[in-house]
């Protein structure tokens, strides 16, 4: 029973704090940057409906399993999987699932920090009124000037990594808990303010209609697979973050109820982002299917033309920074926890070493947008950044999620999972096992096969 175990790193003060922390991990650039543009590219309402269904049958069961493994192990993901495999009489090779999660977190943060640095840079530009009255060409020039300057990108990347490591170095209660206690409520407030502005436009109903009225004629098979993939990735699954946060979860806190709260909050943020963004897009005659440039190259045009645009642009990019920051601290936490447990380091030293290694790796992403962007520096027609993004999002995370499902229901004794979930052999527990045994693995494999181009 997990009540006999304690994490040496401490634990969250309450379930509410864990919900904020896990939501902070899940809510990131994917919710506010990626969700609106992939919804725009895939026809709106029908895509959103499939996405919500996939959250229920793919995301929630795997998140429950990952939190369960973390709390039962009470260690970093590597040591948790090593310990649980021994406890269940399984192969010690299962520890490599922990290693894969830690590695995925570091790789993702190395480029995530660079993209988050763009958000920091845009806050500075928005506050200074750069976007006021700006044309599409002027906004495009702002973006191209930023990414083509390696020194400027490196500076913003460095600032963001320092912000992240300062929080992580202060520990569970002094750092992670305090950060999410302020960041997550602030993020929701900022989003609601932006939705409030969107409601004042003449196109708020158009935005809602696009987001919530299903038109299945616009939904392709590829769109369904994209929805499945995003539902999986948006909850931060398979990268060790949810597992290590689960290891700090207080005893007798319902994992099922907590998972539903986190998934609900994460989904709410994505939908609020869509409700804030699409009315602004329609009000300014912009294209909702603008792709990845929707946030950094399309929205600033709208902000530049609307009343109070400087204020709302500043708010929006501060929101992006907060979302990225709350995710970043969870991405590096598994490695920091392992260094403390295995290398006899203080938390501050572990944070410094983990942060420096991740920062150095991030230089490859910085240079891939400028100095190393040429064909001669590409592998498989991909830059360093593209390779990292592809490797993590399309291979490491789906496989990590699949293996978490396999271990939780095929390798772990039924009694062990019932004990940790504090559920008897009820319909709810049986449904969770059924989804993880059959439905979720098939869905994840389909996402994986699409990602590698087989389907």
Express each pLDDT in 197-218 by its tens digit: 889 888 999 999 999 999 888 8
Percent of the chain at pLDDT > 70 equals 98
Which residues lie across from 379 on neighbouring strands? Answer: 382
Quick one: pLDDT at residue 232?
Answer: 74
What is the DSSP secondary structure assignment for residue 379, as one 8-state letter?
B
Residue with tokens 């913003």: 156
Interhelix angle 178-200/255-283, nearest 10 degrees: 40
Cα–Cα distances (Å) from 113 to 270, 306, 347, in that order, read 21, 30, 21
pLDDT digits (tens, 9 = 90+) for 304-350: 888 889 999 999 999 899 999 999 999 999 999 999 999 999 999 99
CATH number at residue 137: 1.20.1740
| Averaged pLDDT, 121-128 | 96
Domain containing 211 equals 2-451
Report the number of distinct structural domains present in the chain: 1
pLDDT digits (tens, 9 = 90+) for 67-108: 999 999 999 999 999 999 999 999 999 999 999 999 999 999
Distance CA 412, CA 388 (A): 32
| Averaged pLDDT, 245-267 | 94
Backbone angles phi, psi at 382, to 5 degrees: -125, 140
Band of pLDDT at residue 59, cut at 50, 70 and 90: very high
End-to-end Cα separation, the chain, in angstroms: 43
Distance CA 82, CA 130 (A): 52
For residue 257, the tally of other CB atoms under 10 A from its CB is 11
Contacting residues for 284 by C-beta, under 8 A, at least 6 apart: 301, 302, 305, 306
Band of pLDDT at residue 221, cut at 50, 70 and 90: confident
Backbone angles phi, psi at 379, to 5 degrees: -125, 125
Distance CA 23, CA 270 (A): 12
Which stretches does DSSP call E strand in 100-169? none
Band of pLDDT at residue 290, cut at 50, 70 and 90: confident
As a residue count, the chain comes to 455
Backbone angles phi, psi at 418, to 5 degrees: -65, -40
Of the CA atoms within 13 Å of residue 340, those in its CB half-sphere come to: 23
Top-ranked range on mean pLDDT: pick from 149-153, 281-285, 373-377: 149-153
Three state DSSP letters for 86-112: HHCCCCHHHHHHHHHHHHHHHHHHHHH
What average pLDDT does the chain have?
A: 91
Quick one: pLDDT at residue 291?
Answer: 67
**If phi over 0 gives left and psi between -120 and 50 gives alpha, with beta otherwise, what is residue 346?**
beta
Three-state DSSP state, 113: helix
């Amino acid at each position: 029973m997990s009540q006999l175990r304690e994490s040496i790193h401490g634990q969250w003060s309450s379930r509410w704090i864990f919900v904020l922390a896990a939501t902070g991990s899940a809510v990131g650039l994917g919710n506010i940057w990626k969700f609106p543009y992939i919804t725009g590219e895939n026809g709106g309402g029908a895509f959103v409906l499939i996405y919500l269904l996939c959250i229920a049958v793919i995301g929630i069961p795997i998140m429950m399993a990952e939190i369960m493994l973390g709390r039962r192990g009470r260690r970093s993901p590597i040591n948790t999987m090593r310990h649980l495999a021994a406890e269940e009489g399984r192969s010690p090779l299962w520890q490599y699932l922990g290693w894969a999660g830690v590695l995925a977190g570091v790789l993702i943060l190395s480029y995530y920090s660079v993209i988050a640095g763009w958000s920091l840079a845009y806050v500075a530009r928005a506050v200074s009124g750069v976007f006021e009255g700006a044309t599409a060409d002027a906004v495009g020039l702002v973006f191209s000037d930023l990414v083509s300057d390696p020194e400027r990108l490196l500076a913003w990347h460095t600032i963001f990594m320092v912000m992240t490591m300062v929080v992580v170095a202060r520990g569970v209660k002094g750092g992670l808990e305090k950060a999410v206690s302020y960041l997550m409520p602030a993020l929701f407030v900022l989003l609601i303010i932006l939705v409030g502005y969107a409601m004042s436009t003449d196109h708020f109903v158009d935005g809602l209609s696009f987001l919530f009225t299903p038109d299945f004629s616009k939904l392709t098979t590829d769109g369904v697979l994209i929805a499945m993939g995003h539902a999986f990735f948006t909850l931060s699954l398979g990268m060790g973050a949810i597992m290590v946060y689960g290891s700090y979860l207080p005893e007798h806190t319902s994992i099922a109820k907590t998972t539903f709260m986190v998934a609900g909050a994460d989904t709410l943020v994505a939908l609020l982002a869509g409700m804030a963004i699409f009315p602004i897009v329609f009000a300014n005659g912009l294209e909702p299917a603008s792709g990845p440039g929707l946030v950094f190259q399309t929205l600033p045009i709208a902000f530049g033309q609307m009343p109070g645009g400087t204020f709302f642009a500043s708010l929006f990019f501060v929101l992006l920074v907060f979302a990225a920051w709350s995710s970043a601290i969870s991405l590096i936490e598994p490695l920091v926890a392992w260094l403390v447990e295995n290398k006899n380091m203080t938390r501050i030293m572990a944070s410094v070493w983990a942060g420096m290694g991740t920062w150095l790796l991030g230089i490859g992403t910085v240079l891939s947008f400028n100095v190393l962007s040429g064909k001669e520096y590409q592998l498989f027609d991909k830059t360093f950044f593209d390779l990292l993004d592809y490797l993590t999002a399309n291979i490491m995370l789906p496989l990590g999620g699949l293996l978490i499902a396999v271990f939780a229901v095929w390798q772990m004794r039924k009694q062990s999972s019932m004990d940790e979930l504090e559920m008897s052999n009820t319909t709810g527990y049986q449904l969770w096992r059924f989804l993880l045994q059959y439905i979720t693995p098939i869905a994840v494999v389909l996402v994986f096969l699409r990602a590698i181009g087989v389907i």
